[in-house]
Structure 1
Amino acid sequence: MTEQPTTLSTVGRSLTWEEYQSLPQDPRAEYIDGRLVVSPSPSEQHQFIALELAWLMKGVLPVTHRVNTAWAWKPGRDEFIPDVVVYDLATASAGTGARFTGTPELVVEILSSNRGDDLVWKSAKYAAAGLPRYWIVDPRDERVTAYALLDGILTPTAVLGRGEGADLDVGVATVHVDVDTLLGPSEA
């Protein structure tokens, strides 16, 4: 009989889905390729951006859809915790209250400490899961990049920097994103 993990001492080692589920509530971790991936607590700017995007989207989404922040998405064997997720309420019942198992309209990741995970690893995983739209907000490089799934590849459809804004596709609506407002005051 294998002892079930009860702490985050499992970081970096392979574990089963059952072991992952037995971790303490809200470990701020994702389950990707059979491994526990732990992220540090997000910065104030990171949280500000996530909330700003959620408020913007809430104002344009039809009543059939919802926006949420940091809600787990399990599109198969992996489980991710996107910073912002837009989904159809009819598919929300495809999961439990703890995680969403349908396909969202949009996932947004805000880059922080491990940029490679969001830029390469998760991008490939999201494309393989059939995610139709993916945005990356990069506070360091002060950029927002929108991607759409085309022929199985998440392909850039818009790249916005400081001083720019545009209407971006959320799937069931468009939302005007102004990079200066979204990122807050420039650090320079």
Structure 2
Amino acid sequence: MTITVKKLTLEEYLAYDDGTDTKYELVDGELVEMPPESDRNNLISIYLLSQFLKFVPIQLIRHKDTELVVIGNRTHVRLPNLMILTQELLEVMALGRATITPDMPSPAMVVEVVSPGKVNEDRDYRYKRSEYAARGIQEYWIVDTGKSRITLLTLVDGLYEESVFQGTDMIRSATFAMLDLTVAQVLSAGQI
């Protein structure tokens, strides 16, 4: 649900407080309410976090509450399911709000777990794809439980090259070559 009457600047968004725990993304100057994640999506992102902890220091991992400012026609602020920071970005963020602004280095990787529905698919497959590429994020994962696949996008010369993994395919990450994980393992983490 979009609630903004007046288009907000990034500064107005960062100062915005409606007195609730509601989370918002800023899209073209408008506040877009982000409903709570499904339990399945939460379990998948936590599972991936646990896998990355095997070779990434916990200080470099962010889960759900770190904002990422991207530039489109207007400023957008996204709340990815999972991010892996660089050491340089960690040092810049150390003293402030959990917001990665345009003047900061980009995260090394972003993971989004797709929620059902065309609006959510468009946001993760289309809009965030171009936003994250423009932001210079080297690797972007789209975990899609509805399509039973993981789309891994690797930044090459400013554009993403796409690899799609399904079933028992091993996920091949250019950024995290030591990863030993299949799509089935990731998707089954979200099942009860």
| Class of the TM-score when normalised by the shorter of the 2 chains | 0.7 to 0.9
Greater shift in the superposed pair: 93-102 or 33-42: 93-102
Alignment TM-score, normalising by the size of structure 1: 0.81
Alignment TM-score, normalising by the size of structure 2: 0.80
Secondary structure (helix, strand or coil) at the match of 2:180 reads strand
Equivalence for 1:17: 10
Relative to structure 1, the CA distance from residue 185 to residue 12 in structure 2 (aligned partners, 3 Å threshold; closer, same or farther) is farther
CA distance in 1, matches of 2:68, 2:80: 7
Pick the aligned partner of 2:114 from 111, 128, 137. 111
Greater shift in the superposed pair: 114-123 or 74-83: 74-83
Number of equivalenced pairs: 177
**1:137-187, CA deviations, whole angstroms, 9 ceiling, x for partnerless residues?**
00001101111111211111x311122223423x36531221112111798
Greater shift in the superposed pair: 123-132 or 30-39: 30-39
TM alignment of 1:14-163, pairs within 5 A = 14-21=7-14, 22-24=16-18, 26-61=21-56, 63=57, 66-70=60-64, 71-75=66-70, 77-95=75-93, 96-101=96-101, 102-113=105-116, 114-156=120-162, 158-163=163-168
Equivalence for 1:4: none
Greater shift in the superposed pair: 28-37 or 48-57: 28-37
Identity across matched positions, percent? 25
**1:66-100, CA deviations, whole angstroms, 9 ceiling, x for partnerless residues?**
22211212245332111110012332232323213
Q: For structure 1, which runs of at least 5 residues remain unmatched after alignment?
A: 1-7
Supply the RMSD in Å over aligned alpha carbons. 2.6
Does the Cα contact within 8 Å between 1:87 and 1:104 map onto a contact in 2?
Answer: yes
Question: Which letter maps to 1:149?
Answer: L
Secondary structure (helix, strand or coil) at the match of 1:119 reads helix
Deviation of 1:135 after TM superposition, in Å, equals 0.6
Equivalence for 2:183: 179
